[in-house]
Amino acid sequence: MDVCAGAGGLALGLEQAGFEPVLLLDRKPVACETLHLNRPGWKVLEMDLLDFVPDEHPETYDVDLLSAGLPRVKSSATAARADTEGELRLLEAAVLLVHSVQPRALLIENVPGLVDAPNFESTREFIREELEHLGYRFGWFVLNAADFGVPQDRKQGVLVAMKERYFDAFRPPAPTVGTHLSVGRALRRSMASRGWPGADSWAARAVSVAPTLVGGSEYRGGADLGPTGSKKAWARMGVNGGALADDVPGPDDDPSEPIKLTDSQAALLQAFPESWRFAGRKTARYRQIGHASPPPVGKALGDAIVAALGA
C-alpha cells in the first residue's frame, strides 16, 4: 500500500523491485490522474490520508509493505513553526496506520533532517514509541539519489521499520553507481532532439549533477527550478532556472544564451522513464515531478526490503 503517492515515483521504483500495490492513495486529483494514465490497473483512491479509514479497505490488511513518500516537512530550522503542522500530521498519520494495516515492513521517505535534526526529536520519539509498542524494529538513514544513477543531488531521509523477525536481515541499500550521472549526459539527447546546434557544447559544460529539484507550493505562482542558490548552480551550467520552457531548444536558438528546461527534462532529472506521463498543465506537471521520489531510489529500497523479508 502506498500513501501520498503523488506522481508515482516511489510506487514505480517499488514495482520494479517486485511489489504490486493493492491501493495507492493521494488527495490531489491531478496526481491520481497521472497514476491512472500510467497504470490503469492500479487501484487509486483520491482521498486525504487523514480521512482514510482502513476498515473500509480490508485489502490493505497484512500487506508486505506500507510505503509513504510524504509531503516534505520544513527544514529543521523552521520545524517548530505552525506551517509545518500539516506535514507532521501526515507523517504521524502514516505511522498510526501501522496499527490497522500491520504491514511486514514500513517505508517512509522525507527530508534528511528527520533522521537526526534536534528540532525533529519529538517526532522521532513519537515514531519510536508507536513502532516499539507494535513490535517493530526500525532504522533511520540518509540516501543521496545521485548514488543510484539519478542526475541530481537529492538527499532523502528514510525510515524503514519491520516486524521483529525480519529486521536483523535488513541492510540499507548501497550505491548502485560509482560515477554520478551529470546533467549534460542525462539531457544531451533531449537537447539535440530538435536540431539545436548548441547541444554538444552545452552538455560539455553541464558536467555536474543537478541541484535538488523543488516542486514548490501549489498556492504560489509558476514553476521554477528552486531557490536562489539552485538558480546560481543552474546558471553555471547555462540554464535559466527562473522558469520552464514549453519545448526544447530548436535550430534557431542562440547557443550562447542560457536555455530553459522543459518539464519532461525535469522528469529525466528525477530518473522517470520517458514513457511516464504526467497529467495537468505545465506547472502542475512540474510540481508533481519536483515533489516525486526518484524511482531508482525506490527500487533500491524495495530490493533491500525484499531481501530482508525473504531471508
Residues 252 and 139 in one domain: no
- pLDDT at residue number 79: 45
- pLDDT at residue number 78: 45
- pLDDT at residue number 215: 81
- pLDDT at residue number 80: 47
Residues 66 and 204 in one domain: no
- pLDDT at residue number 311: 77
Residues 205 and 58 in one domain: no
CA-based nearest residue to 291, from 212, 222, 233, 235: 212
- pLDDT at residue number 76: 47
Residue 224's domain comprises 183-289
Residues 132 and 231 in one domain: no
Residues 37 and 108 in one domain: yes
Residues 162 and 257 in one domain: no
pTM above 0.85, yes or no: yes
Mean pLDDT by 10 residues, the chain (311 residues): 98 98 98 98 98 96 97 64 75 97 98 96 97 98 98 98 98 97 98 98 97 78 83 96 96 95 98 98 96 98 98 77
Tell me how many domains the chain contains: 2
Q: What is the DSSP letter of 257?
A: S
- pLDDT at residue number 221: 59
| Amino acid symbol at 4 | C
In this structure, what CATH number is given to the domain that contains residue 116?
3.40.50.150
- pLDDT at residue number 41: 98
Residues 135 and 30 in one domain: yes
Q: What is the DSSP letter of 258?
A: -
Residues 281 and 248 in one domain: yes
Alpha carbons 206 and 172: distance in angstroms, whole number? 31
- pLDDT at residue number 264: 98
Residues 190 and 123 in one domain: no
Secondary structure (DSSP) of 174-219? PPS-SSPPPHHHHHHHHHTTTT-TTHHHHHHH--SPBPPP----TT
Residues 103 and 244 in one domain: no
pLDDT digits (tens, 9 = 90+) for 198-252: 999 999 999 999 999 988 766 555 678 989 999 999 999 999 999 999 999 999 9
- Would you say how long the chain is, in residues? 311
Residues 135 and 272 in one domain: no
